[in-house]
Structure 1
Amino acid sequence: MHGLVSRDLLRDRTVFVSGGGSGVNLAIAKACASVGANLVICGRTEEKLRAATNELEGCGAQAAYAVADVRDPGAVAAALAVAADRFGPIDALVCGAAGNFLAPAERISSNGFRAVMDIDLLGSFHCAHAAFEQLRQTRGTILFVSGGQSQMPFLHQVHVAAAKAGVDQLMRSLALEWGPYGIRSNSIVPGPVNGTEGMRRLAESATEEVWAEMVPLGRFAEPEEIGTMAAVLISPLAAYVNGAQVVVDGGMAMSGSSAFNRAVAAAAPAS
């Protein structure tokens, strides 16, 4: 991210990232670290969080982690208390913890559907709700990590579609309701991103060539490209951006999901 924006863009600001131990969320944390932010990340696996914190410190950031499952509001509140104790009230919250898998709607269990709703949607609410008082003090910002499934249907993604659509409406509602406190709320919608766990799972049915067919730019995003846009949306450069769904997908939303759907249908076992 260096060379694109000032290294001091987020100097002395504290960013809390749920699901920050890996993937796109870690890329967002690294981008924020590279421009001066303090970072606190949370997730369920301490080993992963410890390694990610070391990476963030390698970017020159002051960083800490807290083990927390976003489905547990008490654990989320405790993780945010760690952030406040270490750095003071947070300036930005990134709600990134998510789950995904391919499953036909007629076969997915209630528990499977609920798991994704609980992590993506309820977990985002828990984080935002627990962070409110800190964000009110700093007139801070919330960035939700959404997905293309909130905009258009993908085969075998009914659970994710419902969860991400809910996340975007949660974002819009908070932008309206908490705007008077000076709290901005936005969401970022990444397209296919190299090297992430979500892409590894989806690639079992839809190859890189299929995704490239769907994306007008003809390639996956690099994690740093998503991280850079996220850092800008968190920063004062976006001080008047509120209630926006910012799509960073190489144009995929314009071409639709038909290529993906054909690949998934072809790979699906017979009923």
Structure 2
Amino acid sequence: MTPSAYSAPVMDSRSTFKEDIFLGKVLFCTGGGSGICKGMTEAIMRHGANAAIIGRNLDRLTQASKELAEKTGKVCIPLQADVRQPQTLRDAVRKAIEKFGRIDFVICGAAGNFMSPIAALSENAFRTVIEIDTLGTYNTVKATISHVREAKGAYIHVSATLHYRGTPYQIHVSAAKAGVDAISNVIAVEEGPHGVRSNVLAPGFTTGTEGMRVMTGKKTNKAEGFSNPLGRFTEIQDVANAAVYLFSPAACYLTGQVIPIDGGAEHLRGDFFPYPSSVINPSSVETLLKAKI
């Protein structure tokens, strides 16, 4: 009988880390109303932190904050802001400080993505993704850095692995996420002497997220036809576990790092689509292409 390949389990961070390691700490998370960032926020809260989640859709934020508070027993407040507009972020930070008195951890997670060939991608669409991902990260850091310094806290920036190689139809996100990685590296060296750490998490294909739907059209964790040393797609919990570690005292000497959370898939990554036919004839993958910004 041919042996079956290993598939990694999905673990709860509480099986490894004490539940009170973030007691008294406060998390400020952009993009925290859904997906990966909501999952990271929940994990940090399960270990004792209170949180403020930031986004443009107040209704979604309000519902998410209610769910997070009910699941964790901690306080989560929704704060409406657009990371492209610095004043709205400064207002959100002020409200978080008024509520909690401090900000220890920041997750810069607001992002946008879609598939588009360069020929169909408008200048406005390219600029919008840069503004959300790259400028949004910078604006979030500017609005929070004095408080993170005071707390001797840490940043996590949510990136991707798309720019490690050329990825068709992803020029906008590749450029934006490369900028995010660079921002984190500079924060690490400039703010390290002030006691601030900064790292990047780069999730692979993550089930149950909009990014998974955009990139693959799939919402499953079954990895048929997908090469991954650990046998499955990334789960939100995998990214959340890495966030718990990076914010924990166990990572007190870890800064300026970019950490893919992809089960080793990047080492095996080929082309996302048939190549070169998919770039010669974009209509062959038109169900995944979208450039409406």
TM-score (norm: length of structure 1): 0.94
Q: AA paired with 1:135?
A: V
For residues 164-205 of structure 1, the C-alpha deviation after alignment (integer angstroms, 9 at most, x for no partner) is 000000100111111111110100011111100111122239
Q: Partners in 2 of 1:63 and 1:109 — Cα distance?
A: 38
Q: Is the 8 A contact 2:223 2:232 kept in 1?
A: no
- Classify 1:104/1:206 alpha carbon distance in 2 versus 1 (closer, same or farther; 3 Å): farther
- Classify 1:206/1:105 alpha carbon distance in 2 versus 1 (closer, same or farther; 3 Å): farther
* Selected match of 1:197 from 183, 193, 210: 210
Structure 1 partner of 2:3 = none
Structure 2 partner of 1:165 = 178
> Greater CA radius of gyration, 1 or 2?
2
Matched, 1:269 2:289: no
- Equivalent pairs counted in the alignment come to 270
For residues 189-233 of structure 1, the C-alpha deviation after alignment (integer angstroms, 9 at most, x for no partner) is 111111001111222399977785232223112211111111210
* Selected match of 1:5 from 13, 17, 21: 17
Q: AA paired with 1:46?
A: L
* Selected match of 2:153 from 137, 140, 154: 140
Q: After superposition, where does 1:16-31 map in structure 2 within 5 Å?
A: 16-31=28-43
For residues 47-93 of structure 1, the C-alpha deviation after alignment (integer angstroms, 9 at most, x for no partner) is 11011101210111111110011000000111111111111120010
Q: Partners in 2 of 1:142 and 1:208 — Cα distance?
A: 29
Structure 2 partner of 1:224 = 237
Q: AA paired with 2:23?
A: R
| Consecutive unaligned residues in structure 2, runs of 5 or more | 1-12, 287-293
Structure 1 partner of 2:61 = 49
Structure 2 partner of 1:62 = 75
Q: Cα RMSD (Å) of the superposition?
A: 2.1
Q: Partners in 1 of 2:141 and 2:264 — Cα distance?
A: 29
Matched, 1:174 2:187: yes
Q: Is the 8 A contact 1:212 1:218 kept in 2?
A: no
For residues 214-264 of structure 1, the C-alpha deviation after alignment (integer angstroms, 9 at most, x for no partner) is 322231122111111112101211111110111111111101242x13289
Structure 1 window deviating more from structure 2 (93-102 vs 50-59): it is: 50-59
- Percent identity, aligned pairs only, is 36
| Consecutive unaligned residues in structure 1, runs of 5 or more | none
